[in-house]
């Protein structure tokens, strides 16, 4: 069976549903037709941009997987960092997929998980989720103890230098996170 009938990122269960047996999947893996990203999660090589590989595989297992924090900052061109792992958020209480070497898992409150969550087209019919620039900045301020204050302030400065940035839009997103709101207001007062 050809890999063309499989999604660009798929699980072993997806392969079985399309008519493949487990041994056929392993044969395709051995022949280099597919590559393993995590336990029971595979990608068709060359179909999607390698920078989306980990998120695409995570989305195949957990559709709520969302690019966040430093990885999202880089995507929004708010940081020049080169993350050692892809930052992926899942709603708190969701089990992390196993066997992902290049993923940094984060648990976000289910009540605010959808705030600022956007989708993007990664090609080949693959839709991935990412947090907006505003939500990502709020998360960096909210999790400053993990991300570092320099990351949060640098991202905010870059975002404010854009023509389309709006402090009110940022504060609207921040209003869903009462603990981050005062810190962000102070930063905006200092930078504006």
pLDDT above 90 (res 2) = no
Give pLDDT tens digits for 104-145. 999 999 999 999 999 999 887 889 999 999 999 999 999 999
Q: Which two tokens stand for residue 6?
A: 């499989």
For residue 110, tell me if it sits in a domain. Answer: no
- The pLDDT value recorded for residue 65 is 98
Q: pTM for the full model?
A: 0.91
For residue 148, tell me if it sits in a domain. Answer: yes
Q: How far apart are the first and last CA of the chain?
A: 59
Range of the domain at 148: 132-192
- What's the domain count of the chain? 1
For residue 12, tell me if it sits in a domain. Answer: no
Burial class (CB in 10 A: 0-12, 13-18, 19+), 12: middle
For residue 44, tell me if it sits in a domain. Answer: no
Give pLDDT tens digits for 59-80. 999 999 999 999 999 999 999 9
For residue 36, tell me if it sits in a domain. Answer: no
For residue 144, tell me if it sits in a domain. Answer: yes
- The pLDDT value recorded for residue 1 is 47
Say what percent of the chain tops pLDDT 70: 98
In sequence order, what DSSP letters do the residues of 81-140 get, joined into one string?
Answer: ---SSEEEEEETTPPPPS--TTEEEEEE-TTTTTTTEEEEE-STT-EEEEE-HHHHHHHH
């Amino acid at each position: 069976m050809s890999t063309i009938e499989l999604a660009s990122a798929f699980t072993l269960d997806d392969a079985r549903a399309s008519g493949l047996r487990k041994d056929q999947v392993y044969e395709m893996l051995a022949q280099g037709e597919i590559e393993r990203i995590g336990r029971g999660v595979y990608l068709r090589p060359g179909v999607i941009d390698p920078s989306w590989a980990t998120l695409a595989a995570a989305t195949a297992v957990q559709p709520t997987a969302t690019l966040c924090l430093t990885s999202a900052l880089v995507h929004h061109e708010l940081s020049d960092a080169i993350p050692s792992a892809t930052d992926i958020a899942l709603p708190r209480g969701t089990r992390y997929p196993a066997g992902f070497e290049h993923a940094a898992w984060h648990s976000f409150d289910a009540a605010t998980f959808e705030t600022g969550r956007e989708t993007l087209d990664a090609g080949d019919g693959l839709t991935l989720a990412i947090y907006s620039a505003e939500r990502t900045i709020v998360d960096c301020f909210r999790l400053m103890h993990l991300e570092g204050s320099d990351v949060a302030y640098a991202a905010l400065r870059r975002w404010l230098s854009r023509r389309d940035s709006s402090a009110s839009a940022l504060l609207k997103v921040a209003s869903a996170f009462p603990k981050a709101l005062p810190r962000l207001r102070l930063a905006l007062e200092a930078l504006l």
